[in-house]
Amino acid sequence: MGDGGGRDGQPRSSYLHHVADNEATMAEYGAQCVVWQTALNPVVALELLSGGRWSGFGVLGPEAFDAVPFLDLLAADKPLGYGSPWGIEER
DSSP string, 36-61: HHHHHHHHHHHHHHHTTSS--SS---
- Predicted confidence (pLDDT) per residue in 43-81, tens digit: 999 999 999 999 999 999 889 999 999 999 999 999 999
In this prediction the pTM is 0.79
Please state the rounded mean pLDDT for residues 8-20.
86
Output the pLDDT for position 8: 83
| DSSP summary character for residue 77 | P
What mean pLDDT is reported for the chain?
Answer: 90
Three-state secondary structure call for residue 13: strand
Distance between CA 84 and CA 86 in Å, rounded? 7
With 80 as the cut, is the pLDDT of residue 1 above it? no
Please state the rounded mean pLDDT for residues 20-34.
94
Output the pLDDT for position 3: 58
With 60 as the cut, is the pLDDT of residue 27 above it? yes
Domain residue ranges in the chain:
20-82
